[in-house]
């Protein structure tokens, strides 16, 4: 049997790390595009890495950036993947209001650069686009594949562009290109400036006596939070179908930020009201009030169903933080000035 080759952009991110694990377990050879940084940015995949000289090595990393189309085309020629999972993006909604131009370049045009590179190299590979529930924005829940888009952030706007670019390449060139429209999904590997991880870290650190309060913004927003490790399975299934199509992936249940906070603090026996303070710098110029995904198509066609819902997710994320603190991983769990800048 021939071994399948996958190229993952964003392999160093939350989803990229879980997807790399999944594909390696399925016997794939995995290539990942990594952007150059002055510090190491591979912590989430270090446990998967083997020296490329090792005959057992099946994961290979390559430098590349979404803003560099020439490099992307060269990488595709070199790797010749069967499947491309395009997960890289400037993915922070709040930051996208500060950096709308870069977000558009990276998150919107980056997708066109990849699609165009696939088209011009003529590779018969399948393409997955990491689309987002942020595209639905102000459209009322429950949101499904036919719900109109009304994005509420530069990030959402960029993802709508990338969604349509993916559909256009499918329709215009017959490419196997799909959109996975994923609702919020979280894990202990979530970036520390997203609200679930920020709150899980704070609950654990407050319990351990390392800090006293955490500053948050809008507690009324409602999100449909699932578990990232389960969502990458849906991505893979989308690329194994006979025909390319787009799918919503979600739990179908929403909770307010306040409820998520309550779950995290209750898990460590604390009353959140004693420890949560408001800071308006975490508000967004325009917000999304309620996202609830209808993933019935993914259940029907892909056979995909989530099992971890928000209350369990909150507990598992807090437990992971407590474990980290128990093992003396205080440095990584401690907010730094740089993290504070981007909204921790």
Which residues are at the interface with ligand NAP (CB under 6 A)?
Answer: 10, 12-16, 35, 37, 41, 65-67, 87-91, 106, 130, 132, 182, 184-185, 191
We find the least distance from the C-beta atom of residue 276 to ligand F7E, in angstroms, to be 9
Catalytic residue among 28, 83, 128, 134: 134
Closest residue to ligand F7E, judged by C-beta, is 221
**Residue closer to ligand F7E (CB basis): 109 or 125:** 109
191-228: b or e for each residue (b if 16 or more CB lie within 10 Å)?
bbbbbbbbbbbbbbbbbeeebeebbbbbbebbbbbbbb
Catalytic residue among 155, 161, 163, 227: 155
Active-site annotation holds for 153: no
By CB under 6 A, name the one of 127, 136, 163, 194 that touches ligand F7E: 194
Active-site annotation holds for 161: no
Active-site annotation holds for 116: no
We find the least distance from the C-beta atom of residue 153 to ligand F7E, in angstroms, to be 8
User: Which of these, 195, 204, 202, lies nearest to 276 by C-alpha position?
Assistant: 202
Q: Is the dihedral of CA 183, 163, 177, 104 positive or negative?
A: negative
Phi/psi at 50 (nearest 5 deg)? Answer: -130, 145
By a kind-dependent CB cut-off of 5 to 8 A, residue 66 interacts, out of ligand NAP, ligand F7E, none, with ligand NAP
The pair of three-digit structure tokens given for residue 260, joined into one six-digit string? 């998520």
Quote the CA–CA distance of 205 and 325 in Å, as a whole number.
8
Catalytic residue among 132, 133, 139, 153: 132
Residues 155/143, Cβ–Cβ less than 8 Å = no
Interface with ligand F7E (CB under 6 A), residue total: 22
Site pattern 113..132 for ligand F7E (x: CB under 6 A): -------------------x
By a kind-dependent CB cut-off of 5 to 8 A, residue 93 interacts, out of ligand F7E, ligand NAP, none, with ligand F7E
By CB under 6 A, name the one of 287, 309, 315, 335 that touches ligand F7E: 287
Rule CB under 6 A: is residue 94 a binding residue for ligand F7E? yes
* Cβ-Cβ contacts under 8 Å for 39 (sequence gap 6 or more): none
Tell me, letter by letter, the H, E, C secondary structure of 105-155.
HHHHHHHHHHHHHHHHHCCCCEEEEEEEHHHCCCCCCCECCCCCCCCCCHH
Residues 163/169, Cβ–Cβ less than 8 Å = no
The pair of three-digit structure tokens given for residue 144, joined into one six-digit string? 């499904």
Rule CB under 6 A: is residue 218 a binding residue for ligand F7E? yes
By CB under 6 A, name the one of 137, 217, 244, 293 that touches ligand F7E: 217
By a kind-dependent CB cut-off of 5 to 8 A, residue 195 interacts, out of ligand NAP, ligand F7E, none, with ligand F7E
Q: Which residues does the annotation mark as catalytic? A: 132, 134, 155
Contact positions toward ligand F7E, by CB under 6 A?
91, 93-94, 132-134, 183-184, 193-195, 198, 216-218, 221, 223, 257, 282, 284, 287, 343
């Amino acid at each position: 049997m021939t071994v399948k080759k996958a190229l993952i952009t964003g392999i160093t991110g939350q989803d990229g790390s879980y997807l790399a694990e999944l594909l390696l377990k399925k016997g794939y050879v995995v290539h990942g595009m990594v952007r150059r940084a002055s510090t190491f940015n591979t912590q989430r995949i270090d446990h998967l890495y083997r020296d490329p000289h090792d005959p057992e090595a099946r994961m290979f990393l390559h430098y590349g950036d979404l803003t560099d189309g020439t490099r992307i085309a060269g990488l595709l020629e070199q790797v010749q993947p069967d499947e491309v999972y395009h997960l890289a993006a400037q993915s922070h909604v709040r930051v996208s209001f500060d950096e709308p131009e870069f977000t558009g370049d990276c998150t919107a045009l980056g997708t066109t650069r990849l699609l165009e590179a696939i088209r011009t190299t003529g590779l018969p590979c399948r393409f997955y686009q990491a689309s987002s529930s942020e595209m639905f924005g102000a459209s009322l829940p429950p949101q499904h594949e036919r719900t109109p888009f009304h994005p509420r952030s530069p990030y959402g706007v960029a993802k709508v562009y990338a969604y349509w670019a993916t559909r256009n390449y499918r329709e215009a060139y017959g490419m196997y290109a799909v959109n996975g429209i994923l609702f919020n999904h979280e894990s202990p590997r979530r970036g520390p400036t997203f609200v679930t991880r920020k709150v899980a870290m704070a609950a654990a650190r407050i319990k351990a006596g390392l800090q006293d309060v955490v500053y948050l913004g809008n507690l009324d927003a409602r999100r449909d939070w699932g578990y990232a490790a389960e969502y990458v399975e849906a991505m893979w299934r989308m690329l194994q179908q006979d025909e390319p199509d787009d799918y919503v992936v979600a739990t179908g249940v929403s909770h307010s930020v306040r409820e998520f906070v309550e779950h995290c603090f209750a898990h460590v026996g604390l009353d959140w009201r004693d420890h949560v303070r408001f800071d308006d710098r975490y508000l967004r110029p325009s917000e999304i009030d309620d996202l609830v995904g209808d993933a019935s198509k993914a259940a029907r066609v892909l056979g995909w169903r989530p099992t971890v819902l928000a209350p369990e997710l909150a507990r598992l994320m807090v437990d992971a933080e407590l474990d980290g603190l128990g093992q003396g991983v205080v440095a990584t769990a401690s907010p730094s000035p740089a993290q504070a800048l981007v909204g921790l």
